[in-house]
Amino acid sequence: MMVALMLSTLVFAGFFLFLGQFQKGSSDLGLLLERDSNLWLAPLLLSRWIAPTGNNRWDQPWPGVTVQPDLLELNSDSHGRDGFPDSQLDSSFEALQLRDSKSNLQIKSGHGSFQPVIKNVADLRFDSKRMPVITIRLEAATDRPPASFEGNLSHPVEFLVLLRNYRPNLFEETR
Amino acid sequence: MDKRELGFTLVEVLISLMLLIVATTSLFTGLGHAFHHYGLAQGRWKATIEVWNQIEVLRADPPATGTPLLILPHSRPLYRSIIRDSRALGKSGWEILIAEK
């Protein structure tokens, strides 16, 4: 009887102990996957926005690419009536600004306002040392600290986006 | 009161202990597999970014150097360049042929 009582106590204690550890482990895995989904999305998403807007702008007579450590601004008059530049940056993909604000990667396109695109951004840096390749360093963090160990789960990624001058416009642009 | 109603018998407790061990082992094995595959996916993603960056550098400044390859007589010479892929584990990676500008 005493042995059964002790063992049943052990079983209950072990059940709750292992259940707690499993819950912590699976919770931390969920944090990592959520953080990495932001990191894995960033190169694909940003390259599809940055490159089309910044192409044909680097080292050209007309300005359009401004790279600051915490702000990337791209302006390109690539679209207008009949497919030719019209000196109007109306289309959403003709004017682009990227920045880090309130732990969000925010993008402003066209005449709109800054909108959060990627959350939990710990750091965002732009570098133009290797132009025409823009170096983007993005560090993503988790929603909360890990449950099963002490430490920081922020993780960086550094990727490059090439701005090509492949299709000079037929006519000189006015802005 | 019947003696059997006082609590669990030793056999019942041993069976529940065995079930707890089996269930716990299964759960932690599954969690270990999940972390393992997460590590694999993260490694592949890092390798993908490395290749991505190599391709962008190569596109920005194609190094037309080395021994030229002539596919056809009097054609433009092509030059070999290698994209190193850490997923290839020591193999050569991707071979890119670059033409002179």
Convert the pLDDT of each residue in A54-112 to its tens digit.
Answer: 877 777 777 788 888 999 988 887 766 766 666 666 677 778 889 988 889 999 887 78
CA dihedral angle for residue B28, residue B34, residue B39, residue B43, rounded to 10 degrees:
160
Residue (of A94, A89, A97) closest to A126 by Cα position: A97
ipTM of the modeled complex = 0.76
Q: Work out the pLDDT band at A134, boundaries 50, 70, 90.
A: very high
Distance from CA of A172 to the nearest CA of B (A): 24
Q: Work out the pLDDT band at A158, boundaries 50, 70, 90.
A: very high
CA nearest to B25 within chain A: A18
CA pair distance B78, B63, nearest whole angstrom = 11
Segment A23-32 mean pLDDT: 88
Q: What pLDDT is recorded for position B20?
A: 85
Q: Taking chain B (101 residues) in consecutive chunks of 10 residues, what is each chunk's mean pLDDT? A: 64 84 89 91 88 88 77 79 74 76 66
The set of long-range contacts for A126-130, using a CB threshold of 8 Å and a minimum separation of 24, is A126/A67, A126/A68, A126/A69, A126/A70, A126/A71, A126/A72, A126/A98, A127/A67, A127/A69, A128/A67, A130/A160, A130/B57, A130/B60
CA pair distance B87, A40, nearest whole angstrom = 17
Please tell me if residue B36 touches chain A, with a CB cutoff of 8 Å.
no
Q: Work out the pLDDT band at A126, boundaries 50, 70, 90.
A: very high
Instruction: Compute the radius of gyration of chain A from its Cα atoms.
Output: 25
Please tell me if residue B65 touches chain A, with a CB cutoff of 8 Å.
no
CA pair distance B24, B43, nearest whole angstrom = 28
Distance from CA of B12 to the nearest CA of A (A): 8
Touching B: A residues 134-153, CB under 8 Å = none
